[in-house]
Amino acid sequence: MKLLRRLLYFLRRQDRDLAEEMEFHRRMTEDQQRESGLTAEEARYAARRLMGNVAVAREEARRIWLAAWIEGVFQDLRYAVRSLAGQPAFTAMALLALVLGIGLNTSLFAAINSVWSHSWPVPEPQNVVNVYARDLRFGRVSGLSLTAVRYLNESSRTIEGAASSRGYSVQLDAATSGPSAFAEFVTGNYLAVLHVGIKVGRTIRNEDDVVGSPATVAVISHFLWTDRYGTDPNI
C-alpha cells in the first residue's frame, strides 16, 4: 500500500512538471508574438493557435513518457535477474539474509504489537479511556481516588460510567510459598462499565463494593481456572 502511494505521488508529480513545462512554452510563444508587434490579447490567441489543443498535447506527452518509464523499469528488472542468476552463491546468501531479516522483524512487530498496541478485549474498545491524576508540583501521575470515581458516576453527563482498579501480586489458596498471581482490586461496577460478561457464576455487583459487605467476591480468568484449577466447576 505504501509503495502504491509513492507511485501515485510520483506520477502526479511528473504530471505537474509536464503541465508547468507546457505553460512555460506557451508563455515563451506569447512573448515572441508580442515582440513581433501584436497586442497582448492578439499574442495570447496566437500562442493558443500555435500550441494547439493543450489537453491533447499533454496526453500525448504523458503516453510517451509513461511508456519510456515502464520500459526502463523492465530493463532494470531484466538486468537485475541476469546479475543474480550469474552469481548463485551471492543470490542465495542475499535471499537468506532477506528471509531471516523479514522473519525477525515480523516476529518482533507481532510481539510488540500484542503487548503495546493491541486493544482491550472488550466491546467498543475505542470508547474506553484511562484517566489519571497528575501532581503538577512533583510531576507524579497516579490513579483517581474512589471519591473522584464515585463523583464522576454521580455527576458527569459525558461518560457512560467510571470504574477504578489497582493491581497487586497475591497468593492463592493460602499457599504462601507457591507461585503468586496478579490481581486487580476493582470497584463494583468495573465489569459493567466495560460491558464484560463472565462464563460461569456471577459477576461483581455494586453492592459488593461496600464496607462491611457480607461476601468477598472474586472473578478469576479463564486461563487461571483451566491452568491452576483444571476447570473445576466448584471454583
pLDDT digit string (tens) for 15-29?
A: 676 677 777 777 787
Which of 167, 144, 165 has the alpha carbon at shortest distance from 156?
A: 144
pLDDT of residue 110: 79
Q: Is the pLDDT of residue 128 over 80?
A: yes
pLDDT of residue 207: 85
* Helix (DSSP H) and strand (DSSP E) numbers for the chain: 7, 4
What distance in Å separates the CA atoms of residue 52 and residue 7, rounded to the nearest whole number? Answer: 30
Q: Is the pLDDT of residue 63 over 80?
A: no
Percent of the chain predicted with pLDDT > 70: 79
pLDDT of residue 29: 78
pLDDT of residue 120: 74
The answer to whether 126 and 115 have CB atoms below 8 angstroms apart is no
Q: Is the pLDDT of residue 7 over 80?
A: no
DSSP 96-135: HHHHHHHHHHHHHHHHHIIIIIPPPSSSSGGG-----EEE
Q: Is the pLDDT of residue 2 over 60?
A: no
Q: Residue 185 forms beta bridges with which residues?
A: 166
pLDDT band at 12 (very low <50, low <70, confident <90, very high): low
Q: Which amino acid is located at 222 in the chain?
A: H
* Least confident range of 67-76, 101-110, 149-158, 218-227: 67-76
What distance in Å separates the CA atoms of residue 15 and residue 2, rounded to the nearest whole number? Answer: 20
Per-position b or e across 68-91, b if 16+ CB within 10 A of its CB = eeeeeeeeeeeeeeeeeeeeeeee
Mean predicted lDDT score pLDDT of the chain: 78
State pLDDT tens for residues 73-107.
777 888 878 887 888 888 888 888 888 888 888 88
Q: Is the pLDDT of residue 162 over 80?
A: yes
pLDDT of residue 65: 65
Q: Is the pLDDT of residue 223 over 70?
A: yes
57 burial (CB, 10 Å; 0-12 / 13-18 / 19+) is middle
pLDDT of residue 135: 78
What distance in Å separates the CA atoms of residue 137 and residue 122, rounded to the nearest whole number? Answer: 35
pLDDT of residue 181: 82
What distance in Å separates the CA atoms of residue 94 and residue 85, rounded to the nearest whole number? Answer: 12
pLDDT of residue 55: 67
C-alpha cell at position 203: 459477576
The answer to whether 156 and 162 have CB atoms below 8 angstroms apart is yes
Radius of gyration of the chain (CA): 35
C-alpha cell at position 19: 503541465
